[in-house]
Structure 1
Amino acid sequence: MPELESKRAQVARIRRTAVRALADFPVEEPRLTFIAHGENTTFRVDSRDARYLLRVHRPNRHGPGVDSRLAVGSELDWLAALQADTELNVPTPIRARSGQWTTVADGLVCSLLGWQAGRMQSANPRPVHFRRLGGVLARLHDQASGWTPPAGFVRMRWDWETFFGNTMEYGGVSAAGCWDLLPAPVRAQFDEIARRMRTVMADLGSGPDVFGLIHADLHLENALFDRDTVRLIDFDDCGFGYWLYDLAVPLWEYRSHPDHAEIRAALLAGYAETRELPDLTHLDNFIATRDVAFGLWFAGMAQVNPSFAADLNKVMTSIQKALTQAL
């Protein structure tokens, strides 16, 4: 692996880009506070009368040949529709002075969202959090099932090719290249899941009873809790995929949790209160699919981000252990 630019240097460089991007948005006297440097680089923006989230998006985030500006703008189209059609608490997309959802600074697409307040419960999850999250997912899927995206809507399609083929790019590395970065035991496990899911997804098809517009990353760190209110964040992975995958994502990290059975039952019960559950036969297969998606992403990001590189061996060992028990 080539020597990586330090995280501090990367963030300092992207912060300069963020300052330039903010000039294109109607925010008075902004003050930036760094939040995270991962898939995107994010900053809290405080102004005289409001708080925002500024995202500087990674190039080729949505796959080679996909216009990132169109893809991010499509994400924000859905957020605007969710606010118009539902009572779900999702980030408010903020238009640039140009009237567009995004701007470009130093060649990077940037977007601005209203701030979402609340507490993450990922470190101390209880079944009630999953029950509320299940209800939110059901309402999200209901809106997606009845909504017609505008012309030019561009988002990922989370099908077999995207999960297991060479559609995506992670950290500047093609998906095929990320497969080659995997330790041999993990690669063998991922190959087995790919073989299994080729049959599963072919049998399921892509009809509206199983497939539609999903969040695709709604784990407990992307849900903020404020009493009975759940506020959703980070729609960066949203695209067309299996309803089951959206249910698998929040369960994935808690397979070994002592309260896993209660957590799983609560998520599904919360969903069923609002919307009929999809066939759950392959839920565990989709949880394993999440291992593949996460592992490939982490392997690619480790090639450009020193924080990911430092944790790569630990993460791969954890994935191998979890799949050894699951497969």
Structure 2
Amino acid sequence: MAGLYDDAHVTRLTLAVRQLLPQWGLSPQTALHLLALSENATFLASDPDVPRQIVIRVHRPGYHSLAEICSELDWIAALKQDSRLILPATIAALSGERVISFEDQGQSRYVVASEFLEGVEPGPGTALIPGFRLLGAISARLHQHARTWQRPAGFTRKAWDYAGAFGENPVWGRWQDALDLTPEGREILSEAQECLGQRLAAYGQDPARYGVIHSDLRLANLLLRGEEIAVIDFDDSGFSWFVYDLASALTFCETEPEVPQMIQSWIEGYCEVHPLSGEDIAMIPSFLMYRRFTISAWISTHAETATARAAGLGQYTRETVEFARRYLSCEASPERNIYALWG
């Protein structure tokens, strides 16, 4: 990932995006502001002559294919049409194309624009507990749609299944390359992977519990809008277990003492829309463990990003090892209380 986050790269992308602005009918006076630089570079475009702001996302090279990006946009469009969820609409270019591209140092960079939604990112702490009830209901509606939606021909997205984290080519890299991982930590995580694999295999991938999900419902991808929550950034949407969306929502705060109450609120909100079985609920610790594995791998290849630095880099790895230690202890217990992870 070296070179994707330095100033020269940002300057190059900014100039390229500015040259593309006329494709959405934006003038040379448009102000461009870098919102985020992680998997992708995301800009806010504000034209003084246009009443709405738009978000322009430049996709990281070599991550999503054009077919995968179009599939993401297909699901968003279907959700906008068929559900009551608050999502940003895709903004096509004047040509009608939803995805445009430019060449950057010999690589094609895909670009998508969407509407800018007003809202505030939720903050951590006890205030999140009631919000997680609403998020549970939102998650259930996303999954309800995925269960019944007739996907268009050619629909393709990455899979957050066992191979997606532990196969020969894991989506975000190998957890074995996590920063500051010690031999003892590697041994504990290897044992946790084996246990997790057994749990996932026994749980299975029945369409009632496995399908297209958002898979990154963490706080940074939610916007509070009064009594409502908008969901943004479907870049990591793909095939996985529905309950995995809870684990993604708890990213970077899995070890906080309020988490059991947040989980309970999410379950209550979810069940207001669609029932969860005892098996579904019992798998929550395993999906949290899965998420710790994937994020540990992601941080090792994205150490230059603000997100990775905020997570603590090697500190995140050490916390993951401790989380795995507790996970193994809980999974070995006959009662398997899902809240025992927080002691």
Deviates more, 1:123-132 or 1:189-198: 189-198
- Is the 1:7–1:307 Cα contact (8 Å) retained in structure 2? no
- Segments of structure 1 that go 5 or more residues without pairing to the other structure are 63-67
Match of 1:326 in 2: 327
The one-character-per-residue Cα deviations of 1:100-137 (angstroms, maximum 9, x if unpaired) are 22111122111111112111113344311101110100
> Per the alignment, do residues 153 and 22 of structure 1 end up closer, same or farther by CA in structure 2, a change over 3 Å counting?
farther
Q: Does 1:27 align with 2:29?
A: no
Match of 1:281 in 2: 282
Secondary structure of the residue aligned to 1:15 is helix
Match of 2:236 in 1: 237
Match of 2:313 in 1: 312
- Is the 2:46–2:53 Cα contact (8 Å) retained in structure 1? yes
Question: Taking every aligned residue pair, what percent have the same amino acid on both sides?
Answer: 29
Q: CA deviation at 1:179?
A: 3.0
Q: Does 1:270 align with 2:288?
A: no
Match of 1:38 in 2: 38
Match of 2:69 in 1: 72
Match of 1:103 in 2: 100
- Is the 1:44–1:52 Cα contact (8 Å) retained in structure 2? yes
- Is the 1:7–1:306 Cα contact (8 Å) retained in structure 2? no
The one-character-per-residue Cα deviations of 1:174-227 (angstroms, maximum 9, x if unpaired) are x24x63455234433432232123222222222111101100010122111112
Match of 2:59 in 1: 57
RMSD over aligned CA atoms reads 2.4
* Structure-1-length-normalised TM-score: 0.88
- Segments of structure 2 that go 5 or more residues without pairing to the other structure are 329-343
Q: Does 1:120 align with 2:127?
A: no
Q: Distance in 2 between matches of 1:291 and 1:255?
A: 9
- Is the 1:32–1:43 Cα contact (8 Å) retained in structure 2? yes
Q: Distance in 1 between matches of 2:283 and 2:131?
A: 23
Secondary structure of the residue aligned to 1:287 is helix
Letter in 2 for 1:86: S
Letter in 1 for 2:34: F
Deviates more, 1:122-131 or 1:309-318: 309-318
The one-character-per-residue Cα deviations of 1:12-46 (angstroms, maximum 9, x if unpaired) are 12212222333333434532111111111111111
* Structure-2-length-normalised TM-score: 0.84
Q: Distance in 2 between matches of 1:277 and 1:150?
A: 28
Match of 2:256 in 1: 257
> Per the alignment, do residues 283 and 11 of structure 1 end up closer, same or farther by CA in structure 2, a change over 3 Å counting?
same
> Per the alignment, do residues 24 and 196 of structure 1 end up closer, same or farther by CA in structure 2, a change over 3 Å counting?
farther
Q: Distance in 1 between matches of 2:2 and 2:86?
A: 42
Match for residue 84 of structure 2 among 77, 84, 87: 87
Structure whose alpha-carbon radius of gyration is higher:
2
Aligned length: 315
Q: Distance in 2 between matches of 1:70 and 1:80?
A: 15
Alignment of 1:204-223 (within 5 A): 204-223=203-222
Q: Does 1:166 align with 2:168?
A: yes
> Per the alignment, do residues 168 and 56 of structure 1 end up closer, same or farther by CA in structure 2, a change over 3 Å counting?
farther
> Per the alignment, do residues 13 and 209 of structure 1 end up closer, same or farther by CA in structure 2, a change over 3 Å counting?
same
- Is the 1:57–1:108 Cα contact (8 Å) retained in structure 2? yes
Letter in 1 for 2:77: A
Letter in 2 for 1:114: E
Q: Distance in 2 between matches of 1:256 and 1:296?
A: 18
Q: Distance in 1 between matches of 2:4 and 2:147?
A: 44
Match of 1:179 in 2: 176
- Is the 1:91–1:114 Cα contact (8 Å) retained in structure 2? yes
- Is the 2:189–2:321 Cα contact (8 Å) retained in structure 1? no
> Per the alignment, do residues 5 and 154 of structure 1 end up closer, same or farther by CA in structure 2, a change over 3 Å counting?
closer
Q: Distance in 2 between matches of 1:229 and 1:132?
A: 8
Match of 1:226 in 2: 225
Letter in 2 for 1:280: I
Secondary structure of the residue aligned to 1:27 is coil
> Per the alignment, do residues 26 and 204 of structure 1 end up closer, same or farther by CA in structure 2, a change over 3 Å counting?
farther
Q: Distance in 2 between matches of 1:298 and 1:131?
A: 29
> Per the alignment, do residues 308 and 249 of structure 1 end up closer, same or farther by CA in structure 2, a change over 3 Å counting?
closer
Q: Does 1:145 align with 2:147?
A: yes
